[in-house]
Structure 1
Amino acid sequence: MLIVVLLAIMVFFTVIPVLLVIGMSLEGEGGFTLENWQRTFARPGFGEALWNTFTLSFVRQLIGTVLGIGIAWLLARTNIPGAQVLEYGFWIAVFLPSLTVTLSWILVFDPKTGFANSFWTALGLGEGPFNIYSWWGIVWVQLLSSTLPIKVMLLTPLLRNLDSTYEEASRSTGASDLRTMWKITARLIAPTVLVTVVLGLIRGLEAFEVELILGLPARIDVISTMLYRTVRSNPPDYGGAAVIAVFALLVMIPVVLMQRWYSEKNSFATVSGKFRSDIRPLGRAKWPAFVIVCAIVLTMTVLPIAMLVMGSFMKFFGFFGIADPWTLDHWTKVVTGPTFGPAFFNSMVISVGTAILAMVVFSAIAYLLVRQRFRGRAGLDFMVWLPSLLPGVVLGLAYVVFFLRVPFLRPLYGTLTLLLVVTALGVMTLSVQMLKGSITQIGTELEEASSSVGAGWLYTFRKVVLPIVGPSVIVVGVLAFTAAARTTGLLVLLSTGKNQPLSVLQLSQMADGNLSGAAVVGVFLLLMSVGVAAIARMFGYQAKGM
């Protein structure tokens, strides 16, 4: 009965909105038609936007995956100094809002007023070579703000739970550390690596904040920015936006099916009754490794945070060379304004509620998908992916139509409850897939041993499964909290003046050209995220000793 109810709820909140988007792509004045598809594919720049989308995503995933596996291995499996502090640095980088980080890097690499170019010119080396408004500028910001840190964040706990006997067996045959990491370690964590790659590709299709801000001056268009302008056009072209969304869905479905087939075909349990995790000494290489990883962490965290704070106090955003460039006016206007207080409250309610739902509901879904065999299991697993396969702007549009067309849901429109439900669905894919990866690593013999002495499933889950996956559950809660706090595309069409969160307020400030005011809002979003990360790390270390 529980599974039947769960399937019904998932169909209601995932399949029906997707069907509405598909229906919108086929709607015309005379009924169902392919006119929207023909018009969208014939649109100038569509092919170039499609090419930019996939090339940007591919390059980010290639660089981020290689670096992410290497850094996660150093933090989890070696004696690199300060591993816990360095790992926390990647946590902080994950939680930095995309819009906030983009503002910071504009201050650094703006081709005219950027700090790096100004410093380059001051050294007498000529005109500064850096330009954040470029193809590689987009790659740089996305790689450091999301791609690399989230891979390290997800892979480090998994590598820490990896049974070292597999690696020792490889080295006993004469294999080097590099060959062992490639042939043994990488393959054991392959399901989670594949999940992060698939989610990264999906993120490349739906992300529009960085691409919109940095790509517009350079005339670099991607699918998400084209979709966003289609929705925001006057009059809005919902049919064309739906076509772009359905096209993205059709592209990603084979990738998701391949990931699921690969995970089901292979066994990747690495935590068993004989589990042992040993640390590999680096010898003289530990300090060079520390310097490299520390430089990456500082570049991802301290530098953008410092530039963000500076930008919030600047009279004219980005102009360092003027006389008396600092002011408190932006802080005074934003904090004492009529919209900031309600927006802060709304963000806290949405973020805390999303985190609770992610840890409780999504952990149950992940456990069912890994440990139970039932009819509809494949369908449930696929429905978990559906919300992430649609760009946030169009998914938000689908829920607008959904909640307005279903009579008993109509009173929820314009409430925090609606934003909470939609935001939770938006983080469902990452949360469930991450928890599935952790549960998959647990050998079934541990639960079977508990059951053989008469323990019930609840006791077994609490005493056997939870102590092992507890840190991953906490990570999921933190990720859900920060994702809810900083999401914009999913909520921009659903929020109103009364339920507007901080992330939408920040986007409004940027749309009005008030970049310093947007930086002030970004500081508050940053404080929320880092504070939750610090608490989560504290409880995460306690969970390891349960």
Structure 2
Amino acid sequence: MASVSGGVLRPRFNWQALVTLAVLLAVGFLVLLPVVFLVEESLNTGDPMAFPPEQYGIANYVAMLEEDLHVLTNTVIIAVAATVMAILIGFTLAWILTRTNVPGREKLERLMELPYYMTPLVGALAWAVLASPKSGFFNQIWHWAGGRGDLFNIYSMFGIAWIMALFEGTVAFVMISASMKSMDPALEESARVIGASKLRTALTVTLPLVMPGVLGATLFVFAEMLGSFAAALVIGIPARVYVITTAIWDSTLSYPPAYGRASAMGLALFAVMFVMLTFYRWIIGRGSYATITGKAYRPRPMDMGRLAWLLFGVCALYILLAVVLPIAALILTSFQRFATALLHQAQWTLANYETALALGPVREALVNSLMLGFGVATVGVVIMALVVWIIYRSQLVGRGAIEYLVMFPQAVPRLVFGLALLWAWLNMPIPIYGTLWLLALAYFTVMLPLGVRTLAGVVLQIDKSLEECARVCGAGWAYQMRTVTLPLLKPGILAAWLLIFMACVRELGASVFLMGPNAKVIAPSIVNAFATSGTELTAAMALIQTFTVMVALVILFRLTRGMTRELT
């Protein structure tokens, strides 16, 4: 476009095109450059510290297939077992809470979100306290009651899969319940009219209709299980059961560090996850299984009679196993000198909390995590809001490429992306490796999909006519963004801010390779305490982290509830 002033034709500066180009280059640099370095290092068959590599080859991939075949086998077995259990948990809970008249349905549905906010790291630590051989609380009570041997041993392949499933089951529940809520209940009622039992209706009508959603959830959860790190680290290392993520971590700790082999394993894991998530999006994008039509309907839950209380017990059992028992075990442990489930033998103390808050490295790690969470969330939501507007509101060339790039980190396991950033910034002239700046860049990049999806849901609900009215009245793009778009985005911005803050405070995978002596954060510090200190101190640190996340969660619920009331 051009403007005329004094009879002279002057070109108008296109700010939108400039901003789009800048965003595209910046996101591409953050997302793709580390992966390029990772690919190059995976082909390095010479000095692992040399850059550029002195020799190139595929020896690292050959070694992965020949020497690490048992690691790949363990990864697949655990991921499959965990996925099956998680989908069973998710489907069962989704069916109970969306298709039946179970008592307290709305409150139970809200409680199902709690395991996600506890984090797998805290869950793994708690179940190590509960079910360790000999010293685990369950086994202590079993021995006290006269039982012989150990009742449970969490340090096994099943133990790893159990913890993964328990805390990913809530993800499967959210995904499957969304499909069930959109299903016309008349289809189930028709089956009941012709004499089908409630169980047969669930298996022959409900299940086939939500199968695309179940399949999508299965692929998504399976991809998450392949890249899971926390449970595999806390439970698998003591049991000497290695999966691909812990093998990557272990390879970088060897001397000399096997960066080439770690990079090859990371890229293999990334390739599988990329295929899984691409297939998942393809399934979700299909509309041939839709059961919502133009005819209005109101979801009507099935009357389960006396079975309703049994189904309530199933939901309560999941909350007990995923939330109540783990938190209770950590609380009990954190207030004792020597952890025991036998309360008459307990030696109560506040020393673990005093130590956790008094130790310089621990206090520094907690403060750094809070600072990173606040900084990344504050700066990140502004940038992400701009990115979302470019993708879903502008007509600029390149917005599709930006959408692809910002969602790319979703297919890269956090641990692998941390390894890619490690190798990239070790070889860059900018000296930010081992500082909070690199951790902030890593957190911002891996949080892009979370922030963009959260904000996109709000942007798509804003009528375009509001922005068009501003333009008709002569408002420029920057003025329109400041006075129309951003105020309307306020609920989404608050929600995205708190979600990103919580995710940063609990982040483990992207932190383990990037944390330096002067840049410690809380999640890897908890793992280090578990490996080197007592269980009691570790429990106190884990609860401090969990309390911080829960406070942010309460604030999120209250703010979003207040925003909803204002908008209605």
Q: Give distance in 2, aligned partners of 1:90 and 1:474.
A: 22
Which residue in 2 is equivalent to 1:525?
A: 545
Shift of 1:198: 4.3
Distance in 2 (alpha carbons) for counterparts of 1:461 and 1:280:
39
- Listed as ranges, the gaps of 5+ residues in structure 1 are none
1:282 aligned partner: 303
Q: Residue 323 and residue 172 in structure 1: after superposition, are their counterparts in 2 closer, same or farther (change >3 A)?
A: closer
Secondary structure of the corresponding residue to residue 244 of structure 1: helix
**For residues 295 and 478 of structure 1, what CA distance do their matches in structure 2 show?**
29
In structure 2, C-alpha distance between the alignment counterparts of 1:368 and 1:167, rounded to whole Å: 36
Check conservation: 1:485, 1:502, Cα contact below 8 A.
yes
The AA in structure 1 aligned to 2:281 is R
2:228 matches 1:207? yes
The DSSP-based 3-state class of the residue aligned with 1:493 is coil
Q: Given the alignment, which residue of 59, 78, 82 partners 1:35?
A: 59
Distance 1:360 1:290 in 2: 42
Q: What is the TM-score of this pair, normalised by structure 2?
A: 0.80
Counterparts of 2:495 and 2:438, CA distance in 1:
24
How large is the RMSD of aligned CA atoms in angstroms? 3.8
Instruction: Answer whether contact 1:40 1:243 (CA < 8 A) is retained.
Output: yes
After superposing the two structures, state which structure 1 stretch, 173-182 or 27-36, moved more: 173-182
1:416 aligned partner, one-letter code = L
Distance verdict in 2 for CA 1:183–1:462, change over 3 Å: farther
Structure 2 counterpart of 1:427, from 419, 425, 447: 447
Q: Show the counterpart of 2:37.
A: 20
Q: Work out which of the residue numbers 153, 157, 182 in structure 1 matches 2:207.
A: 182
Superposition pairs of residues 317-466 of structure 1, within 5 angstroms:
317=339, 320=342, 323-356=345-378, 359-362=381-384, 365=387, 376=398, 379-407=401-429, 410-432=430-452, 447=463
Which of 21-30 and 427-436 deviates more? 427-436
**Structure 1 residue 169 displacement after superposition:** 4.8
Q: 2:81 aligns with which of 42, 45, 59?
A: 59
Mapped to 1, the partners of 2:220 and 2:394 lie a distance apart of 24
**For 2:564 and 2:208, how far apart are their aligned partners in 1?**
28
Deviation at 1:241, TM superposition (A): 0.7
SS of 1:28 mapped into structure 2: coil
Give 1:34's aligned amino acid. Answer: I
Report deviation, 1:126: 3.3
The amino acid across from 1:500 in the alignment is: K
Inter-partner Cα distance in structure 1 for 2:137 and 2:264 = 42
**1:315/1:326 contact within 8 Å kept:** yes
Letter in 2 for 1:256: L
Structure 1 position 293, deviation (Å): 0.6
Residue 358 of structure 1, CA deviation: 6.0
Matched, 1:266 2:287: yes
* Aligned counterpart in structure 2 of residue 497 of structure 1, from 509, 517, 533: 517
What does residue range 166-315 of structure 1 map to in structure 2 within 5 Å? Answer: 167-171=184-188, 173-174=190-191, 178=202, 179-185=204-210, 187=212, 189=213, 194=216, 196-266=217-287, 278-284=299-305, 285-315=307-337
Following superposition, the deviation at residue 71 of structure 1 comes to 2.0
CA-CA distance at 1:363 after TM superposition? 5.9
Contiguous gaps of at least 5 residues in structure 2: 1-16, 47-53, 472-479
Distance 1:301 1:218, change over 3 A: same
> Would you say the 8 A contact 2:336–2:347 is kept in 1?
yes
Counterpart in the other structure of 1:92: 114
Higher Cα Rg: structure 1 or 2? 2
One-letter amino acid matched to 1:205 = L
Residue identity opposite 2:55 in structure 1:
G
Q: Provide the TM-score with structure 1 as the length reference.
A: 0.82
Contact 2:223 2:276 in 1 (8 A): no
Give, in angstroms, the shift of residue 418 of structure 1.
2.6
Q: Which moved more, 1:263-272 or 1:13-22?
A: 263-272
**Aligned residue in 2 for 1:82:** 104
d(CA) in 1 for partners of 2:562, 2:207:
32
- For residues 339-359 of structure 1, the C-alpha deviation after alignment (integer angstroms, 9 at most, x for no partner) is 233222211122233444665
Amino acid in structure 2 at the alignment position of 1:314: Q
Counterpart of 2:301, as a letter, is R
Q: Does the 8 Å contact 1:133/1:217 carry over to 2?
A: yes
State the SS of the aligned residue for 2:184: helix
Shift of 1:88: 3.3
How far is 1:323 from its partner?
4.6
Given that residues 131 and 137 in structure 1 are in contact (C-alpha distance below 8 angstroms), is that contact kept between their aligned partners in structure 2?
yes
Q: CA deviation at 1:302?
A: 1.3
Q: Which residue of 1 aligns with 2:474?
A: none
Q: Give the AA of the match of 1:310.
A: L
Percent of aligned positions that are identical: 23
Note if contact 1:72-1:155 (Cα within 8 Å) is conserved in structure 2.
Answer: yes
Match among 132, 142, 147 for residue 120 of structure 1? 142
Deviates more, 1:320-329 or 1:418-427: 320-329
1:4 aligns with 2:21: yes
Query: What is the distance in 1 between the residues matched to 2:494 and 2:172?
Result: 16
1:216–1:308 CA distance, 2 compared to 1 (3 A)? same
Q: Which residue of 2 aligns with 1:109?
A: 131
CA 298–370 in structure 1, closer or farther in 2 if over 3 Å, else same: farther
Contact between 2:252 and 2:259, CA under 8 Å: does it hold in 1?
A: yes
- SS of the aligned residue for 2:540 comes to helix
Structure 2 Cα separation of the partners of residues 460 and 62 of structure 1: 46
1:138 to 1:318, Cα distance in 2 relative to 1, 3 A: farther
Q: Tell me which of the two structures has the higher relative contact order, counting C-alpha pairs closer than 8 angstroms and 6 or more residues apart.
A: 1
Q: CA deviation at 1:505?
A: 2.0
Distance of aligned partners of 1:286 and 1:432 in 2 relative to their CA distance in 1, 3 Å threshold? farther
Query: SS state of the match for residue 514, structure 2?
Result: coil
Distance 1:346 1:309, change over 3 A: same
Moved more, 77-86 or 239-248: 77-86
Question: Which residue identity does 2:37 align to in structure 1?
Answer: L
Deviations 1:384-405 (A, max 9, x none): 3433444434422322333354
Given that 2:114 and 2:323 are in contact with CA atoms closer than 8 Å, whether structure 1 keeps it comes out as yes
Amino acid aligned to 1:423: Y
Q: CA deviation at 1:406?
A: 4.0
- 383 and 235 in structure 1: CA distance in 2 versus 1, 3 angstrom threshold: same
SS at match of 2:149: coil
1:37-73 CA-partner distances (Å, limit 9, x unpaired): 3333332xx1121111122112222222243244235
Deviates more, 1:489-498 or 1:521-530: 489-498
Match of 1:541 in 2: 561
C-alpha spacing 1:525/1:103, structure 2 compared with 1 (3 Å): same
Cα separation, 1, equivalents of 2:303 and 2:485: 37
Distance 1:273 1:231 in 2: 57
1:141 Cα offset (Å): 1.3
Residue aligned with 2:510, SS? coil
Whichever residue aligns with residue 233 of structure 1, its letter is S
Residue of structure 2 equivalent to 1:135: 157
